Amino acid sequence: MHNPKEVYLQVANQVLKYLTGSSRKGILFKQGSRLVFKTYTDAHYAGSVVDRRSTIGYCTLLGGNLVTWRSKKQSLVARFSAEAEFRVMTQGVCELLWLNTILEDLKIKWDEPMRLY
């Protein structure tokens, strides 16, 4: 890093503490089950009565096990419910592409389709 800061060291220490404390944890898969990535998305259109912003959320499962999730209030006001749903679907696709990049970095060949719901 060109300009390291104290906060980066603190974050690195937090990551190392987590990795040390969770070395025996993992994801269990049933034998013979198909490993398929599935991302479920949803948006609550204009859910905030104060500022009319939507709340979006998605979760990604691999073989029925939760691997990523997110829920947040949108920064922009959606004019239509379809717009809010489209935004969360876009984030779901980005999540699947990110997971695909991780698989490529780990040299894991993935031929199964990644599903978005």
Say if residue 1's pLDDT is above 60.
no
Strand 55-62 to 37-44 pairing: antiparallel
Residue tagged 């009319």 (tokens) = 52
Model pTM score: 0.68
**73 phi/psi in degrees, rounded to 5:** -85, 135
**Sign of the CA dihedral with 48 first, then 97, 39, and 66 last:** negative
Tell me: the pLDDT tens digits for 83-102? 888 888 998 999 999 988 88
Q: For 35-116, CATH number?
A: 3.30.420.10
How is the beta sheet containing 115-116 ordered, strand by strand? Answer: 65-73, 55-62, 37-44, 115-116
Say if residue 52's pLDDT is above 90.
no
